[in-house]
Amino acid sequence: MKTKIKIFFLALLFLNLIPAFCLAADTYVPMEKIPGFEDPADFPTYLMNIYKFGLGAIGVSAMFMIMIGGYMYLTSAGNTAQTGKAKGVIFDAIAGLILALVSYVLLWTINPDLVKFKSITSGTTTGETGTTGTSEYAGYNAACPDPTSKVPIDFSESPTISASSTCKNLIPNDVNGVSKEILRTIAQLESSCGTDSNAENSSAECCGIMQLKPDTAGISCSELVSNNTASIEAAAKYIKDNASNHDDDPVKIFAGYNSGYGTSGSGSLAPSVDCPGSLKFQCCYDPQELDESIHYAWKGNGIYKGQ
Protein backbone atom coordinates (compact mmCIF):
# COMPACT_ATOMS: atom_id res chain seq x y z
CA MET A 1 0.00 0.00 0.00
CA LYS A 2 2.91 2.33 0.77
CA THR A 3 4.21 1.84 -2.76
CA LYS A 4 0.83 2.77 -4.21
CA ILE A 5 0.67 5.90 -2.10
CA LYS A 6 4.16 6.95 -3.21
CA ILE A 7 3.27 6.46 -6.86
CA PHE A 8 0.03 8.37 -6.41
CA PHE A 9 1.80 11.21 -4.61
CA LEU A 10 4.39 11.54 -7.38
CA ALA A 11 1.62 11.60 -9.99
CA LEU A 12 -0.20 14.33 -8.08
CA LEU A 13 2.98 16.33 -7.65
CA PHE A 14 3.64 16.14 -11.39
CA LEU A 15 0.05 17.20 -12.11
CA ASN A 16 0.40 20.22 -9.85
CA LEU A 17 3.79 21.20 -11.25
CA ILE A 18 2.69 21.15 -14.90
CA PRO A 19 1.39 24.76 -14.84
CA ALA A 20 4.81 26.06 -13.84
CA PHE A 21 6.05 25.46 -17.37
CA CYS A 22 5.73 28.16 -20.04
CA LEU A 23 4.11 27.22 -23.31
CA ALA A 24 3.95 28.84 -26.71
CA ALA A 25 0.81 30.91 -27.18
CA ASP A 26 -0.02 29.79 -30.70
CA THR A 27 -3.64 29.52 -31.79
CA TYR A 28 -4.88 26.06 -30.97
CA VAL A 29 -8.01 24.24 -32.08
CA PRO A 30 -8.59 21.12 -29.95
CA MET A 31 -9.86 17.91 -31.53
CA GLU A 32 -11.73 17.05 -28.33
CA LYS A 33 -13.42 19.44 -25.95
CA ILE A 34 -12.77 19.06 -22.22
CA PRO A 35 -16.12 18.36 -20.48
CA GLY A 36 -17.40 21.40 -18.64
CA PHE A 37 -15.05 23.87 -20.34
CA GLU A 38 -15.37 26.22 -23.31
CA ASP A 39 -13.18 25.78 -26.38
CA PRO A 40 -9.74 27.21 -25.50
CA ALA A 41 -8.11 30.02 -27.45
CA ASP A 42 -4.65 28.48 -27.18
CA PHE A 43 -2.80 25.34 -26.13
CA PRO A 44 -1.84 26.55 -22.61
CA THR A 45 -5.52 27.19 -21.87
CA TYR A 46 -6.37 23.72 -23.16
CA LEU A 47 -3.81 22.17 -20.81
CA MET A 48 -5.12 24.27 -17.94
CA ASN A 49 -8.59 22.87 -18.63
CA ILE A 50 -7.17 19.35 -18.53
CA TYR A 51 -5.40 20.21 -15.29
CA LYS A 52 -8.57 21.52 -13.64
CA PHE A 53 -10.59 18.59 -14.97
CA GLY A 54 -7.98 16.21 -13.55
CA LEU A 55 -8.18 17.76 -10.09
CA GLY A 56 -11.96 17.50 -10.19
CA ALA A 57 -11.75 13.90 -11.37
CA ILE A 58 -9.48 13.06 -8.43
CA GLY A 59 -12.10 14.37 -6.01
CA VAL A 60 -14.95 12.50 -7.69
CA SER A 61 -12.90 9.29 -7.89
CA ALA A 62 -11.95 9.54 -4.23
CA MET A 63 -15.57 9.92 -3.16
CA PHE A 64 -16.57 7.00 -5.38
CA MET A 65 -13.89 4.77 -3.85
CA ILE A 66 -14.94 5.79 -0.33
CA MET A 67 -18.49 4.69 -1.19
CA ILE A 68 -17.22 1.37 -2.53
CA GLY A 69 -15.08 0.86 0.57
CA GLY A 70 -18.04 1.67 2.78
CA TYR A 71 -20.21 -0.83 0.94
CA MET A 72 -17.50 -3.49 1.25
CA TYR A 73 -17.24 -2.78 4.98
CA LEU A 74 -21.00 -3.00 5.53
CA THR A 75 -21.26 -6.28 3.64
CA SER A 76 -18.17 -7.88 5.19
CA ALA A 77 -20.37 -9.67 7.75
CA GLY A 78 -17.54 -9.86 10.26
CA ASN A 79 -15.04 -11.27 7.76
CA THR A 80 -11.72 -9.89 9.02
CA ALA A 81 -9.97 -10.07 5.64
CA GLN A 82 -12.86 -8.34 3.87
CA THR A 83 -13.06 -5.67 6.58
CA GLY A 84 -9.34 -4.98 6.29
CA LYS A 85 -9.61 -4.71 2.52
CA ALA A 86 -12.52 -2.27 2.85
CA LYS A 87 -10.58 -0.12 5.30
CA GLY A 88 -7.62 -0.12 2.92
CA VAL A 89 -9.78 1.13 0.03
CA ILE A 90 -11.25 3.91 2.19
CA PHE A 91 -7.83 4.91 3.54
CA ASP A 92 -6.24 5.02 0.08
CA ALA A 93 -9.09 7.17 -1.25
CA ILE A 94 -8.93 9.63 1.63
CA ALA A 95 -5.13 9.77 1.46
CA GLY A 96 -5.25 10.48 -2.27
CA LEU A 97 -7.82 13.23 -1.81
CA ILE A 98 -5.78 14.85 0.96
CA LEU A 99 -2.60 14.67 -1.10
CA ALA A 100 -4.33 16.29 -4.07
CA LEU A 101 -5.58 19.17 -1.94
CA VAL A 102 -2.39 19.59 0.07
CA SER A 103 -0.11 19.54 -2.98
CA TYR A 104 -2.18 22.24 -4.71
CA VAL A 105 -2.45 24.43 -1.60
CA LEU A 106 1.24 23.98 -0.83
CA LEU A 107 2.33 25.07 -4.30
CA TRP A 108 -0.13 27.99 -4.25
CA THR A 109 1.24 29.10 -0.87
CA ILE A 110 4.84 28.96 -2.11
CA ASN A 111 4.04 30.86 -5.31
CA PRO A 112 0.66 31.19 -7.08
CA ASP A 113 2.50 31.09 -10.42
CA LEU A 114 3.29 27.42 -9.81
CA VAL A 115 -0.35 26.54 -10.45
CA LYS A 116 -0.76 28.74 -13.52
CA PHE A 117 -0.02 28.06 -17.15
CA LYS A 118 1.77 30.90 -18.88
CA SER A 119 2.26 31.63 -22.54
CA ILE A 120 5.48 32.60 -24.21
CA THR A 121 4.97 35.54 -26.52
CA SER A 122 7.56 35.81 -29.23
CA GLY A 123 9.19 39.11 -30.03
CA THR A 124 8.71 42.55 -28.53
CA THR A 125 6.78 45.63 -29.51
CA THR A 126 7.71 49.25 -29.14
CA GLY A 127 5.12 51.21 -27.18
CA GLU A 128 3.90 54.77 -27.61
CA THR A 129 6.49 56.10 -25.18
CA GLY A 130 9.39 54.24 -26.75
CA THR A 131 9.51 51.53 -24.10
CA THR A 132 9.57 47.88 -25.02
CA GLY A 133 7.11 45.31 -23.72
CA THR A 134 5.90 41.83 -24.54
CA SER A 135 2.44 42.54 -25.93
CA GLU A 136 1.14 43.40 -29.37
CA TYR A 137 -0.74 46.32 -27.79
CA ALA A 138 1.21 49.58 -27.68
CA GLY A 139 -0.77 50.94 -24.75
CA TYR A 140 0.14 47.94 -22.63
CA ASN A 141 3.82 48.33 -23.47
CA ALA A 142 3.68 52.02 -22.60
CA ALA A 143 1.85 51.40 -19.32
CA CYS A 144 4.06 48.45 -18.46
CA PRO A 145 7.69 49.12 -19.41
CA ASP A 146 8.50 46.38 -16.90
CA PRO A 147 5.96 43.59 -17.54
CA THR A 148 7.13 41.79 -14.39
CA SER A 149 6.21 44.73 -12.15
CA LYS A 150 3.67 44.13 -9.41
CA VAL A 151 3.20 47.84 -8.74
CA PRO A 152 -0.28 49.00 -9.84
CA ILE A 153 -0.32 50.99 -13.08
CA ASP A 154 -0.62 54.75 -12.70
CA PHE A 155 -2.99 55.58 -15.55
CA SER A 156 -2.65 59.30 -14.80
CA GLU A 157 0.74 59.03 -16.52
CA SER A 158 -0.85 58.23 -19.88
CA PRO A 159 0.10 60.87 -22.49
CA THR A 160 -2.60 63.26 -23.65
CA ILE A 161 -4.04 62.41 -27.06
CA SER A 162 -5.98 64.92 -29.14
CA ALA A 163 -9.66 64.13 -29.34
CA SER A 164 -11.19 63.74 -32.77
CA SER A 165 -13.19 66.73 -34.01
CA THR A 166 -15.49 64.23 -35.72
CA CYS A 167 -16.29 62.70 -32.34
CA LYS A 168 -16.93 66.11 -30.81
CA ASN A 169 -19.41 66.96 -33.54
CA LEU A 170 -21.03 63.54 -33.37
CA ILE A 171 -21.53 63.56 -29.59
CA PRO A 172 -22.05 67.19 -28.51
CA ASN A 173 -23.89 66.42 -25.25
CA ASP A 174 -24.06 63.95 -22.39
CA VAL A 175 -26.30 60.94 -23.04
CA ASN A 176 -28.39 59.20 -20.39
CA GLY A 177 -26.21 60.56 -17.61
CA VAL A 178 -22.95 59.46 -19.24
CA SER A 179 -20.56 62.29 -20.06
CA LYS A 180 -19.93 63.21 -23.66
CA GLU A 181 -16.18 62.94 -23.02
CA ILE A 182 -16.52 59.28 -22.04
CA LEU A 183 -18.67 58.46 -25.05
CA ARG A 184 -16.42 60.36 -27.47
CA THR A 185 -13.39 58.51 -26.15
CA ILE A 186 -15.02 55.11 -26.64
CA ALA A 187 -16.27 56.04 -30.11
CA GLN A 188 -12.76 57.15 -31.07
CA LEU A 189 -11.20 53.98 -29.70
CA GLU A 190 -13.76 51.64 -31.23
CA SER A 191 -14.27 53.02 -34.71
CA SER A 192 -12.54 56.39 -35.03
CA CYS A 193 -16.07 57.76 -34.73
CA GLY A 194 -17.33 55.84 -37.71
CA THR A 195 -14.47 56.56 -40.10
CA ASP A 196 -12.95 53.07 -40.21
CA SER A 197 -14.15 49.60 -41.13
CA ASN A 198 -14.92 48.69 -37.52
CA ALA A 199 -18.00 50.89 -37.71
CA GLU A 200 -19.74 48.11 -39.58
CA ASN A 201 -19.05 44.68 -38.15
CA SER A 202 -15.95 43.43 -36.35
CA SER A 203 -14.56 39.91 -36.04
CA ALA A 204 -15.94 39.87 -32.49
CA GLU A 205 -19.47 40.30 -33.93
CA CYS A 206 -19.71 43.84 -32.59
CA CYS A 207 -21.47 46.44 -34.68
CA GLY A 208 -21.75 50.16 -35.18
CA ILE A 209 -19.86 53.22 -34.13
CA MET A 210 -19.68 52.07 -30.50
CA GLN A 211 -18.93 48.44 -31.40
CA LEU A 212 -21.59 46.72 -29.33
CA LYS A 213 -22.94 43.21 -29.66
CA PRO A 214 -26.63 43.19 -30.60
CA ASP A 215 -27.46 41.15 -27.48
CA THR A 216 -25.80 43.76 -25.29
CA ALA A 217 -27.38 46.69 -27.08
CA GLY A 218 -30.81 45.12 -27.37
CA ILE A 219 -31.07 46.14 -31.02
CA SER A 220 -30.02 44.55 -34.29
CA CYS A 221 -26.59 44.86 -35.85
CA SER A 222 -28.02 46.61 -38.90
CA GLU A 223 -29.60 49.28 -36.69
CA LEU A 224 -26.39 49.75 -34.73
CA VAL A 225 -24.57 50.33 -38.01
CA SER A 226 -27.14 52.60 -39.64
CA ASN A 227 -28.26 54.58 -36.58
CA ASN A 228 -25.40 56.28 -34.74
CA THR A 229 -27.75 57.85 -32.21
CA ALA A 230 -29.18 54.46 -31.25
CA SER A 231 -25.67 53.01 -30.98
CA ILE A 232 -24.49 55.84 -28.72
CA GLU A 233 -27.60 55.60 -26.54
CA ALA A 234 -27.14 51.83 -26.20
CA ALA A 235 -23.51 52.33 -25.17
CA ALA A 236 -24.52 54.94 -22.60
CA LYS A 237 -27.14 52.59 -21.17
CA TYR A 238 -24.61 49.75 -20.98
CA ILE A 239 -22.19 51.98 -19.08
CA LYS A 240 -24.93 53.33 -16.82
CA ASP A 241 -26.26 49.85 -16.02
CA ASN A 242 -22.80 48.85 -14.76
CA ALA A 243 -22.17 51.98 -12.69
CA SER A 244 -21.96 49.97 -9.47
CA ASN A 245 -18.96 48.11 -10.89
CA HIS A 246 -16.97 51.01 -12.30
CA ASP A 247 -17.98 53.77 -9.83
CA ASP A 248 -17.96 56.31 -12.69
CA ASP A 249 -14.16 56.10 -12.82
CA PRO A 250 -13.22 56.83 -16.47
CA VAL A 251 -10.33 54.36 -16.51
CA LYS A 252 -12.51 51.58 -15.09
CA ILE A 253 -15.23 52.47 -17.59
CA PHE A 254 -12.80 52.12 -20.49
CA ALA A 255 -11.30 48.84 -19.27
CA GLY A 256 -14.72 47.37 -18.56
CA TYR A 257 -16.15 48.50 -21.88
CA ASN A 258 -13.36 46.64 -23.63
CA SER A 259 -13.51 43.34 -21.75
CA GLY A 260 -16.69 43.42 -19.69
CA TYR A 261 -17.52 44.82 -16.28
CA GLY A 262 -16.97 41.57 -14.41
CA THR A 263 -15.78 42.01 -10.82
CA SER A 264 -14.91 38.38 -10.10
CA GLY A 265 -12.87 35.57 -11.62
CA SER A 266 -11.02 36.73 -14.72
CA GLY A 267 -13.03 39.96 -15.07
CA SER A 268 -11.02 43.11 -15.70
CA LEU A 269 -12.55 44.77 -12.62
CA ALA A 270 -11.88 41.78 -10.36
CA PRO A 271 -9.30 42.13 -7.56
CA SER A 272 -5.76 41.37 -8.67
CA VAL A 273 -3.88 38.54 -6.98
CA ASP A 274 -0.50 39.65 -8.30
CA CYS A 275 -0.85 43.35 -7.45
CA PRO A 276 -2.58 43.53 -4.05
CA GLY A 277 -4.92 46.46 -3.60
CA SER A 278 -5.57 46.89 -7.31
CA LEU A 279 -7.80 45.43 -10.01
CA LYS A 280 -6.72 42.93 -12.65
CA PHE A 281 -6.51 45.50 -15.46
CA GLN A 282 -4.33 47.70 -13.24
CA CYS A 283 -1.59 45.07 -12.98
CA CYS A 284 1.19 44.57 -15.54
CA TYR A 285 2.26 41.21 -14.16
CA ASP A 286 0.77 38.22 -15.97
CA PRO A 287 -2.11 40.13 -17.62
CA GLN A 288 -3.21 36.99 -19.48
CA GLU A 289 -5.88 38.29 -21.87
CA LEU A 290 -6.22 41.72 -20.26
CA ASP A 291 -3.24 43.33 -21.99
CA GLU A 292 -5.71 44.67 -24.55
CA SER A 293 -7.84 46.17 -21.76
CA ILE A 294 -4.76 47.83 -20.27
CA HIS A 295 -3.94 49.23 -23.71
CA TYR A 296 -7.53 50.39 -24.13
CA ALA A 297 -7.69 52.09 -20.72
CA TRP A 298 -4.25 53.68 -21.13
CA LYS A 299 -5.02 55.12 -24.54
CA GLY A 300 -8.59 55.96 -23.53
CA ASN A 301 -7.45 57.99 -20.55
CA GLY A 302 -5.13 59.93 -22.85
CA ILE A 303 -8.00 60.79 -25.21
CA TYR A 304 -10.23 61.63 -22.26
CA LYS A 305 -7.64 64.08 -20.92
CA GLY A 306 -7.30 65.62 -24.38
CA GLN A 307 -10.84 67.01 -24.37
Q: Which of 200, 9, 224, 203 is nearest to 95 (CA)?
A: 9
The pLDDT of residue 78: 79
pTM beyond 0.75: the answer is no
The pLDDT of residue 143: 93
3-state SS assignment for residue 7: helix
Exposed/middle/buried for residue 262 (C-beta within 10 Å: 0-12, 13-18, 19+):
middle
Q: Which of 126, 135, 148, 122 is nearest to 285 (CA)?
A: 148
Distance of CA 60 to the CA centre of its chain: 27
3-state SS assignment for residue 2: helix
For the chain of 307 residues, list the mean pLDDT of each consecutive stretch of 10.
50 49 47 67 69 82 90 86 89 86 77 58 38 66 91 94 90 95 95 69 76 91 92 95 94 94 86 91 88 94 93
The pLDDT of residue 115: 63
**Cα gap 113→55, rounded to integer Å:** 17
The pLDDT of residue 100: 79
**Cα gap 85→54, rounded to integer Å:** 26
Tell me the sheet residues that pair with 122.
none
**Cα gap 174→179, rounded to integer Å:** 5
| Domain boundaries of the chain, sorted by first residue | 2-120, 125-305
The answer to whether 232 and 210 have CB atoms below 8 angstroms apart is yes
| CATH fold of the domain at 125-305 | Lysozyme (1.10.530)
